[in-house]
Amino acid sequence: MAYDEDLAERVRDLIGGRKGVIEKRMFGGLAMLVHGNMAVVIRGKGGLMLRVDPDDQDVLLDEPGVDEAVMRGRPMRGWIIVGAAAVGTAAKLRNWVDRAMAYAESLPPK
């Protein structure tokens, strides 16, 4: 399944102009990396996978439309899935993308 091109464009509009941002196709979706650190993935299954501060993850999982990211049957600490409905408005999308980008930008460059 291909990722949502419209959602990808909306994310590009939000992060355009930031230094050190590149796009890379991976995991059946489109990843946005900042200084080599993955921050946002537009998922082939819909919605976003976002990198977040692991200390904030449990609180974020209580938000509507947010689930734990699981890879190969194992939970991924510091990653969440945000469903398409939870990023349906510009304000909601900006909130989630800004959170993920800020955390990725706080990490040492790769």
Structural domains of the chain ordered from first start = 5-106 (3.90.1150.30)
* Confidence band for 109, pLDDT divided at 50, 70 and 90: very high
78-101: pLDDT as tens digits? 999 999 999 999 999 999 999 999
22-80: pLDDT as tens digits? 999 987 899 999 999 999 999 999 999 999 999 999 999 999 999 999 989 999 999 99
How many C-beta atoms lie closer than 10 Å to residue 29's C-beta?
Answer: 23
* Confidence band for 102, pLDDT divided at 50, 70 and 90: very high
Distance CA 110, CA 108 (A): 6
CA distances from 97 to 18, 22, 29, 72, 73 (A): 13, 15, 16, 25, 25
| pLDDT computed for residue 7 by the predictor | 97
